[in-house]
Amino acid sequence: MTPSATRTRQWLPYTAAVTAGLVVIAGAVVFVRQRDAGSTGARADCATTLQVNSSTEKADLLVELAERYDRSNRSIEGGGCAQVHVSALNSGQATEALATDWARTGLPQPQVWLPTSSLWTGQLRLLDEAAGRAPQTPVRYPSIANSPLVIAMPQPKAELVRRRGPLGWGEILGLSGRDGWASFGKPEWGRFTFGKDNPNLSTSGLAATIATYYAAVRRSSDLTRSDLADPAVTQFVRRIEANVSHYSDDSVDLLRNLAEADLAGGAGSTDDMSAIVLQEELVDLYNTGALSPRQDGQERGRRPNVPLVAIHPKEGTFNLDHPFVVLPSADERQRAAAADFQAFLTEDAQQESFARLGFRDHERRASADLLASVGAEPTAGLTYFEPPDPRVVGAMLDGWRTLRKKANILIALDTSGSMQAMVGARTRFQVASAAAGKGLALLNSEDRVGLWSFSSETPKRPKSPYRTEVPLGGFDQKRITSKIAGLHVEGGTALYATVRAAHRELLDRYDPQRINAIVVLTDGKNEYGPDNDLARLLAEVALDPQRPVKVFCIAFDRESDFTTLDRIAKASSGKAFDATDPTTIDDAFVKLVSSF
């Protein structure tokens, strides 16, 4: 993953549920990069064109390597040469597109597919079987690079954990309970909580969930659906999920915020997290400054003051294997070109390029520089879990929806007069209401959800700029949706007063067994004279690691003050989602809801 790729990295797209066993993907508008890899010095006499589609985290590197290939003097079997073109699509959307209608992506039909993990080739195989056609991915495929899943901790905490000797997933991620770090002689560090990507959004989040199940059954292969139904297994997974601080839609954003806070010398935006479960390559990118703030022209920023250390659980881990998949759409010449390009990618020079971005090589070997950056691996090497049967993966995610940590969510919806402005044929409020309805549908029935409206004092709301429409309690989607539809739109935007009051409400109703969060949807900036003190608001919502209440904001429409909303969210260790283009609001809501 190059730094430029991570700046715009977004995760898997929202789709409808497809067949049994397919991961139901939710997420963002996909980041797509296409570039003519043969435009800079390629041989003009090459009659064969090979279209390659790569997952987004390695796309910039694949473009660079394709250009290098095209400038070479290589010949393919049967004579002649090939020109390689690279486009990018995240693995989830590529899976769906290959199973349905690739033309809708607007990208060239690929003959080679390079997803993040062979988990996706299994999901595509299920879709093909359900459609009654020959599978496009019937076998295993060679890797071009690898990155194992690790538990990343700030160095002081990692060193303390390592002194205990080899520990397993449950012993590390299940640490907290009431004792937390006190059991390690550090009560001042409080509870042990960790961050992970939502497995419905992220390949690494899915891999982390699979690894947890493997640790629960104490095997490294042959996970079955009957294993998932074992009460001891569900109890193990539930205990680990209970320690999640909140789910992330993108670990890269989380690490960027952590690096920014580290280099500023202040409290980190992840102070309530003792660890983050992610792929090893990201630990290296963080430690080498690739995710740090940087000046124009810099390839990397400063290295963080406190590096992360990769912990490898003793039972083993899951590997993101970056397979090289030749699709049935390739003709004989393109298959020859694919074989040569795959061989090219596994040569030392190209493998060194992968290594510079934190990847292990195609045979899972780590460079000395990588281990020096992220921390040594066990003396005997790593044990890897085998990918489960695709149907088991689907059943696992169905179960995860009930085992994941539940949430207390207070939604504050802007009903100021500016929400009457038109977005195409609908008002801003109608667009926002529709997006909220879609997002609510993704919440868990066991979540607790409340709804406030806010603007400024109005004739219908003369005593307060905000009002409880649905009290925080058991999730009643129909009631909330009905209330939203009946809201009256007028007045100014009392942003600060509402966030301040909502934060106090969540502290009063705080539940340590749940993710406690405020969701603010607004199309503007603070326009409320009686409360215009941003500095005081930031101090009040600042993260308390012992009682974290996180603020998540969606900046809706270009008049939104995204910079201020981002400051409010970061102060609380939450996140602001930029939907200042109102057509992206559905995706922003889906990504936001996936944090819970």
- Segment 353-366, tens digit of pLDDT: 999 999 999 999 99
Question: Which pLDDT tens digit goes with each residue over 369-405?
Answer: 999 999 998 888 899 999 999 999 989 888 888 888 8
Q: What is the mean pLDDT of residues 516-543?
A: 91
- What Cα–Cα distance (Å) separates residue 205 from each residue in 114, 208, 276, 277, 400? 19, 5, 11, 8, 12
Residue type at 506? Answer: L
How far from chain centre, in Å, is Cα 27?
8
Q: Nearest 5°: CA angle at 321, between 258 and 217?
A: 85
Domains annotated on the chain, with CATH:
3-141+323-358 (3.40.190.10), 147-319+385-400 (3.40.190.10), 406-593 (3.40.50.410)
Lowest mean pLDDT among 195-199, 286-290, 297-301, 546-550: 297-301
Q: Cα torsion at 114, 118, 121, 122 (round to 10°)?
A: -170
Tokens at residue 424, please?
A: 């195409």
Question: Which pLDDT tens digit goes with each residue over 502-517?
Answer: 999 999 999 988 989 9
CA separation for the pair 95, 127 (Å, rounded): 9
- What Cα–Cα distance (Å) separates residue 334 from each residue in 89, 115, 135? 21, 19, 19
Lowest mean pLDDT among 178-182, 258-262, 480-484, 569-573: 178-182
